[in-house]
Structure 1
Amino acid sequence: MRIVLVGPPGAGKGTQAAFLAKNLSIPHISTGDLFRANISQGTDLGKQAKAYMDAGNLVPDEVTIGMAEDRLDQADAADGFLLDGFPRNEQQARALDAYLARHGIALDGVLDLEVPEDEVVKRIAGRRICRNDSAHVFHVENQKPAVEGVCDICGGELYRRDDDAPDKVRNRLEVYHRETEPIIDYYRKQDLVVTISALGPVAEVTRRAMAALRAGSERPA
């Protein structure tokens, strides 16, 4: 299957992408991974991206699109992929369509994870991250550490990132509504969008997503 995953910050896209990719035996391709790989490998696109990032500027669409196309050209993506974080706007969506058309393939579905804004703010603002290892993540309500403010795994200090503050989260949601949400309507016109609630246990959301994708793929063309 060839799938695009969309949803606001805090919808659990990364978590669901990992489970869905494993269940479907397709590579999970995230924008963050694309940037890290290209920068660490010193590719031309990575050097361009780093120059923009070091200057505090947004990376232009053409650079991001180039990275995504290079990744989709790799052998493991020949029979399917799950895109997470790309496309992030309509220009990127049109570029992806053009790439797929050149290769005689098409998307099977666009999975839209739906979460109320208040829930997004609660999820993100409640996150606490270990200063020793950012992979150690807790939550003030859903995943409390045994000792408040202390990482269960290594004993490091837990803190809330500046951009996880409620006002910053709402700003990120505004950017999502302005830049990324329009691609849902773009793909809905192609009858590709399946929307599910991303509320509830992770395993239940994954089950819901798999059922929606299967139902969507079985619709008559």
Structure 2
Amino acid sequence: MNLVLLGAPGSGKGTQAELISKKYGWPHISTGEIFRNIKAGKSSLAEAVKGYIDRGQLVPDSITVDIVEQRISESDCERGFLLDGFPRSIYQAEILGVSLGRRGMGIDCVLYLALSDEAIIRRLEARRVCPGCGRDYNLVTQPPKENGKCDACGTQVARRVDDNIKIIRERLDVYRKETQPLVDYYIKKKVLSEIDASKTIEEVSVSVKEFIDLKCDVHRT
């Protein structure tokens, strides 16, 4: 089963993607995580990616598409995969469709995590990340268990560079312009279902599971 998660920054895509991947065994392909790993390097690509991310801009299609195509061609994606952060435009969606079509595949299900701009801003201002291991937290919805330290490695969590209010608003503007049209695109293809992302992580997870099981005809073994 090939699944796409859509939603603005802060809508909970990463959290739900991890839960889906764990439950159904599909690899979680996060372009955000891939770019952050590249950004940590010292190559010319790393410098370019760092510039785009720190300014709240989307990484160009020429870079993003190549990286995603390479990833979904790996053997662990043969039985299905979960895309988080891609596609971000109709152009990317069309390229993805062509690429999958060459392999006799397609996108089976799309989940759209819907959340208001006000709720998104509140969440992103409270978001933190562990500089040590990269684990994500939210001081409101998913805080560290002890004194702002990472549950996994004990490193003090910190705000991400791109989570200040100016860049948050810029990212939302980019999202509404570039990514929101994908909702209509996938509605027309009759593969999209909207999920209310304002609920708790557990409540959203239940809705996600119901969608996958009922609409995508997935059966747990």
TM-score using structure 1 length = 0.80
Q: Which residue number in structure 2 is paired with residue 97 of structure 1?
A: 97
Distance 2:72 2:211 in 1: 24
The residue type paired with residue 62 of structure 1 is S
The residue type paired with residue 179 of structure 1 is E
RMSD: 3.0
Q: Which residue number in structure 1 is paired with residue 182 of structure 2?
A: 183
Instruction: Note the alpha carbon deviations across 1:168-219, whole angstroms, 9 max, x for none.
Output: 322211111011111111111111111111122212211111112233225x
Matching residue within 49, 58, 70 for 1:53: 49
Distance 2:92 2:124 in 1: 26
Distance 1:72 1:105 in 2: 11
Q: Which residue number in structure 2 is paired with residue 120 of structure 1?
A: 120
Distance 1:145 1:39 in 2: 28
Distance 2:90 2:97 in 1: 10
Cα distance change, pair 12–59 in 1 and its aligned pair in 2 (3 A):
closer
Gaps of 5+ in 1: none
* Length, aligned pairs only: 210
Q: Which residue number in structure 1 is paired with residue 194 of structure 2?
A: 195
Distance 1:200 1:35 in 2: 28
Of all paired residues, the percent bearing the same amino acid is 35
Aligned partners of 2:110 and 2:193 also within 8 Å = yes
Q: How does 1:107-186 map to 2 (within 5 A)?
A: 107-128=107-128, 135=135, 137-139=137-139, 143=143, 151=149, 154=154, 156=156, 160-161=159-160, 163-186=162-185
Cα distance change, pair 186–208 in 1 and its aligned pair in 2 (3 A):
same
Gaps of 5+ in 2: 53-57
SS in 1 for 2:120: helix
Distance 1:165 1:110 in 2: 29
Distance 1:125 1:210 in 2: 28
TM-score using structure 2 length = 0.80
SS in 1 for 2:11: coil
Distance 2:47 2:142 in 1: 39
Cα distance change, pair 26–104 in 1 and its aligned pair in 2 (3 A):
same
Cα distance change, pair 141–102 in 1 and its aligned pair in 2 (3 A):
closer
The residue type paired with residue 192 of structure 1 is V
Distance 1:120 1:210 in 2: 23
Aligned partners of 2:28 and 2:84 also within 8 Å = yes
Q: In the TM superposition, what is the alpha-carbon distance from 1:14 to its structure 2 partner? A: 0.6
SS in 1 for 2:92: helix
Distance 2:67 2:136 in 1: 29
Q: In the TM superposition, what is the alpha-carbon distance from 1:21 to its structure 2 partner? A: 1.2
